[in-house]
Homo-oligomer: A and B are copies of this chain.
C-alpha cells in the first residue's frame, strides 16, 4: 500500500474547538455557547469552527478566539505575543468515528487562558454565550450523564476535562498563571488565581516568599495598589521566565 495515495483518502472535516479558561469571582470558568441547531440543539458547547482551506491550525484557533471574545492571541506556531494577548496552545485532537453523528469530524482542541473579561461577546445574540464555572459543568456531566440536556454537546465534556487538567498541571511548572491576570497584578491576585484553578487554599506568606524568590517569574513595576483592601501591595508584571525553577507544587501530595 502506498503511504500517500491522494485518490484514496477518506474525506474528513477538520475543526478547532476552544477551551477558554478564566478566573471570575474566585472560580475557574470556561466559555460555552448555546447551539442553535441540530445535533445537540439548545445544548451548551465549546466554541469552535471549521479550519479554512489555507489556514494553519493555530491560526484557526486564534481566529475563533478573536471572534468569540475579542481577545488577541498569538498563533502558537508564530512568535509574536501581543500585549493583551491570551495564552493559546494546542490541547489534543479528538476524532472518534461517531463523535459527530452526521459526518467524520476531527477536532483539534486548543486551550486558551485569559484574564477576567467583562462579558462574552456573542455573535449578535445575547443569551447564546456565557462563562460557566467548570466545576458546575463537570459535575453535571458526572452526575446527570452525557445525555442530560444540561451536559455539554458532543464529547466536549471530555475536552473540557482534559483542558482543565492541562491548565492545572501547567501552572505548576510554568509561569502561565500570569495569563489569567491583568498586565499588572499583585502577589495576592496571583495567589487567588492558583487557588481558583487548583481549588485549594494556599498559605499567603509562603506563597509570597516562594513566588517572589523564583528568578524571572515576577518583575516589580514600582507601583502599588489597594484594590484588594488592606495594606498597599506591590504591582508586578510577568517576567521573562516561562519555566519555573523550582516549580510551584500543588499541595496535598
- Known contacts: A12-B12, A92-B90. The answer to whether A6 contacts B102 by CB under 8 A is yes
The answer to the question of A53 belonging to the interface, with a C-beta cut-off of 8 Å to chain B, is: yes
Contacts of A103 in B (CB 8 A): 6
The reply to whether B97 and A56 form a contact with Cβ atoms under 8 Å apart is yes
Pairwise interchain contact B57-A95, C-beta atoms closer than 8 A: yes
**Is the Cβ of B93 less than 8 Å from the Cβ of A57?**
yes
User: Is B4 within 8 A of A97, CB to CB?
Assistant: no
Note all chain B residues with C-beta closer than 8 A to A57.
93-96, 106
A246 to chain B, nearest CB (A): 8
The answer to whether A97 and B10 have CB atoms under 8 Å apart is: no
Which single residue of chain B is at the shortest CB-CB distance from A243? B253
Set B37, B77, B97, B105: member contacting A55, Cβ < 8 A: B97
Chain B contacts for A77, CB-based, 8 A: 96
- Chain B residue numbers with a CB within 8 Å of A13 are 6, 9, 12
B contact residues around A36 at 8 Å (CB): 2
A34 to chain B, nearest CB (A): 11
Q: Does A118 contact B (CB under 8 A)?
A: no
- Say whether A108 faces chain B, with CB atoms less than 8 Å apart: yes
**Shortest distance from the beta carbon of A146 to any chain B beta carbon, whole Å:** 15
Count chain A residues whose beta carbon lies closer than 8 angstroms to a beta carbon of B: 43
Q: A1-43 vs B: 1/0 string, CB under 8 Å?
A: 1111010111111110000000000000000000111000000
Query: Is A52 an interface residue, CB under 8 A from the partner?
Result: yes
Instruction: Tell me which of B2, B35, B95, B245 contacts A14 (CB under 8 A).
Output: B95
Task: Point out the residues of chain B lying under 8 angstroms from A51, CB to CB.
Answer: 10, 12, 95
User: Contacts A12-B13, A54-B97 known; A37 to B2 CB distance under 8 Å?
Assistant: yes
Taking a contact as CB atoms under 8 Å apart, the answer to whether B245 and A102 are in contact is no
A116: CB under 8 A from chain B? no
**Measured CA separation A97–B58 after assembly (Å):** 11
Chain B positions within 8 Å of A55 at CB level: 97
Q: B10–A104 contact, CB under 8 A?
A: no
Which A positions have Cβ atoms within 8 angstroms of B? 1-4, 6, 8-15, 35-37, 48-57, 77, 90, 92-97, 100, 102-106, 108, 245, 253
Q: A12-B12, A56-B95, A93-B93 are in contact. List 10 more A-B contacts (CB 8 A).
A: A2-B36, A3-B49, A6-B102, A10-B14, A12-B13, A12-B106, A14-B14, A57-B95, A90-B92, A106-B106
